[in-house]
Structure 1
């Protein structure tokens, strides 16, 4: 018998696939979409305004100088506020500073006074309406600070307006 050449059989390699990189990429994608979803949520402050009724003199709850409190924001952290109409104010224009001993103290005092007054009239929980008027020279930080003061003083009805009367502009320029 002759020596026949032996058949050489090829060695079978394992067919395992390493999925470590795929798992890492999957976790990175999951984290990315979770962060992107969280950043996409709006971070806005709720704004509560009174209902407008044309038959009852405008804003619901009565209109007029008794409930309106105006805050003027000027340059260099200047705040001037008054109650009522500027021509005949219920509380004369006064300059304030930011913080607990400044505008916050005044807002708390005036809101408590208005709540007590409205309770006597039988309108429980009707506080004052604050009109915030930032000037063109005021900065964004001042507006955010005054909105924080509204939240701290628990004033639920306020509005941001950018129309200044000439008298208000003079008032901010003085002092």
Structure 2
């Protein structure tokens, strides 16, 4: 509280002077008010909301017979490698049948993988993009390729586990450039 302290004193020399008091202001209520306002604004402020992307995952069929087979003409595989490198090939990699695809390297620019996805989805509306990330690829690259799917309007894509055949293709491409 604000208080005024007065000093007692008599008249000196018969002169009457106005009493001068020193003022001392207690700042405790002001500090309390400041903290209350700070708490109010912190609690009512909306912080940056996380941006999310909706991914609908299909239900796994109970039997292998219920799975739909993907035609090689409707498939495109994107391989995410180390050091922000990205490779892709058209069709399916079927080493048992002697089908080894031509692996091509791309980049993350608008003229890179985005242009490739736009061209392929326009040419084939039934295109399914299989995304396969290597253990050495970064999580950022996976998020970036999902963003590219959204930007290009690719309707059908799947995140698939990298098999040994594709891992071998990826290792060869990373060592000596795209095949």
TM-score, normalised with respect to structure 1: 0.64
- Contact kept, 8 Å, 1:77 with 1:138, in 2: the verdict is yes
- Contact kept, 8 Å, 1:73 with 1:135, in 2: the verdict is yes
Q: Which has the higher contact order (CA 8 A, sep 6+)?
A: 1
Alignment of 1:33-48 (within 5 A): 33-35=43-45, 38=47, 42-48=50-56
Q: Determine whether 1:31 maps to 2:41.
A: yes
Unaligned runs of 5+ in 2: 1-27
Structure 1 partner of 2:20:
none
**Offset of 1:84 from its aligned partner?**
2.6
Distance 1:84 1:52 in 2: 23
Aligned alpha-carbon RMSD (Å): 2.9
**Offset of 1:42 from its aligned partner?**
4.6
Distance 1:28 1:66 in 2: 62
Distance 1:153 1:145 in 2: 12
Distance 2:75 2:32 in 1: 63
Structure 2 partner of 1:118:
none
Q: 1:144 to 1:173 in 2, by over 3 A?
A: same
Structure 1 partner of 2:148:
149
**Offset of 1:19 from its aligned partner?**
5.1
Q: Determine whether 1:75 maps to 2:48.
A: no
TM-score, normalised with respect to structure 2: 0.63
Q: How many residues align?
A: 141
Distance 1:64 1:51 in 2: 20
Distance 1:49 1:114 in 2: 22
- Contact kept, 8 Å, 1:48 with 1:158, in 2: the verdict is no
**Offset of 1:136 from its aligned partner?**
0.8
Aligned with 2:47: secondary structure? helix
Distance 1:71 1:86 in 2: 12
Distance 1:57 1:82 in 2: 27
Unaligned runs of 5+ in 1: 1-17, 116-126
Aligned with 1:82: secondary structure? strand
Q: 1:33 to 1:141 in 2, by over 3 A?
A: same
